[in-house]
């Protein structure tokens, strides 16, 4: 038996290596189809492709967002240098402006100017960057696994809720079957009263009543609708026990509602109409919960 999964969840994982640290957050919300969005650091061109492939391998529906936040280790203080040539140019320009009445430059202001303080960047080693990207990909997969576990936890909470609604539908269908058996007699009695009131002495009245009542009973026969509803209940139980089942359950809800509408339109008694209306309400409640199923 497969575990039913929801579509809402969150997963996080962290990693480090080759002078880099990074964190990955993966979250998802309901969606009719699978949509994967990615945000990551510049320079790791293959990471988005790998992240989306990993998401597609794990999920069937939902809007999934994957975010990778990466930071390179900062150079040590001893490695920081001042570019004297750039500083001299800035100082010359600042002094010229000061002669024209501008505020003389401060030391911290000069040091904050672009290019004055230099921290030598490590030359990018393609092999080292590929190693970091591969490690980031593994962290993305860890975050997606955590997200999948979170969605399965939601599915575990949804399963008994779905089972309860399906059981209520099954009980209402059984009530409808009992009530439908009385429809023929109810139609005959109603038609007899009306004909007797309009033409109490008409010849062949009994035969006419029988024929008309039979025709009306045929139009009001709901056995096919009830049989299909019973089959839908069985299908719903099978789908809840399998995964992913969201799309199929979506379609099944439409079939449930179609049969319930027909049942109400064919109903010849207030009792059966009441059962049909309650059935539609429960189907709608089930449909709302199915929107959360992957």
**Per residue in 167-177, pLDDT tens?**
999 999 999 98
Query: Per-residue DSSP letters for 21-62?
Result: EEEEEEEEE--SSEEEEEE--TT-HHHHHHHHHHHHHH-SSE
Helix (H, G, I), strand (E, B) or coil at 73: coil
For residue 203, what are its two tokens? 């010849």
Q: Give the pLDDT mean for 96-100.
A: 78
Return d(Cα 278, Cα 11) in angstroms, integer.
Answer: 40
**CA-CA distance, 163 to 167, in Å (whole number)?**
6
Higher pLDDT, 198 or 86: 86
Which range among 234-238, 255-259, 268-272 shows the weakest confidence by mean pLDDT?
268-272
pTM for this entry: 0.70
Could you give the count of Cα atoms lying within 13 Å of 124 in the half-sphere of its Cβ?
8
Q: How confident is the model at residue 18 (pLDDT cuts 50, 70, 90)?
A: confident
In sequence order, the β-bridge partners of residue 23 are 14, 69
Mean pLDDT of the chain: 85
Q: Tell me how crowded residue 138 is: count the other CB atoms within 10 A of its CB.
A: 14
Residue 71: Cβ within 10 Å count: 12
Whether residue 79 has pLDDT greater than 90: no
Cα-Cα-Cα-Cα dihedral of 261, 264, 265, 271, to 10°?
180
Confidence (pLDDT) at 107: 76
- Would you state the pLDDT for residue 238? 93
Q: Which of 29, 44, 227 is nearest to 136 (CA)?
A: 44
Q: Which of 58-72, 84-98, 255-269 has the lowest mean pLDDT?
A: 84-98
DSSP states of 196-231 as a string?
A: HHH-TT-TTHHHHHHHHHHHHHHHT--HHHHHHHHH
Percent of the chain having pLDDT more than 70?
A: 82
Determine the distance from the C-alpha atom of residue 177 to the mean position of all C-alpha atoms in its chain, rounded to a whole number. 36
pLDDT value at residue 265:
87
């Amino acid at each position: 038996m497969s575990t039913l999964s929801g579509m809402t969840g969150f997963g996080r994982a962290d990693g480090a290596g080759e002078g880099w640290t990074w964190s990955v957050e993966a979250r998802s919300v309901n969606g009719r189809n699978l949509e994967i969005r990615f945000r990551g650091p510049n320079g790791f061109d293959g990471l988005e492709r790998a992240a989306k492939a990993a998401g597609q391998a794990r999920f069937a529906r939902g809007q999934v967002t994957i975010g990778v936040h990466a930071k390179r280790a900062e150079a040590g203080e001893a490695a920081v240098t001042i570019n004297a040539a750039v500083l001299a140019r800035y100082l010359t320009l600042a002094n010229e402006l000061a002669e024209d009445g501008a505020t003389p430059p401060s030391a911290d202001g000069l040091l904050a100017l672009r290019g004055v303080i230099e921290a030598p960047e490590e030359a990018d080693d393609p092999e080292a960057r590929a190693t970091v990207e591969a490690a980031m990909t593994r962290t993305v997969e860890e975050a997606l696994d955590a997200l999948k576990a979170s969605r399965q936890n939601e599915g575990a909470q949804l399963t008994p809720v779905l089972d309860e609604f399906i059981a209520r539908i099954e009980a209402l269908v059984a009530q409808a079957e009992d009530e439908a058996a009385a429809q023929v007699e109810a139609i005959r009695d109603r038609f007899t009263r009306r004909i007797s009131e309009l033409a109490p002495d008409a010849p062949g009245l009994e035969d006419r009543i029988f024929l008309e009542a039979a025709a009306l009973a045929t139009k009001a026969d709901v056995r096919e609708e009830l049989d299909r509803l019973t089959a839908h209940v069985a299908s719903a139980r099978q789908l809840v026990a399998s995964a992913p089942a969201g799309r199929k359950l979506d379609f099944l809800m439409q079939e449930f509602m179609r049969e319930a509408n027909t049942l109400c339109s064919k109903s010849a008694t207030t009792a059966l109409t009441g059962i049909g209306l309650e059935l539609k309400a429960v189907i709608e409640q089930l449909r709302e919960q199915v929107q959360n199923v992957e």
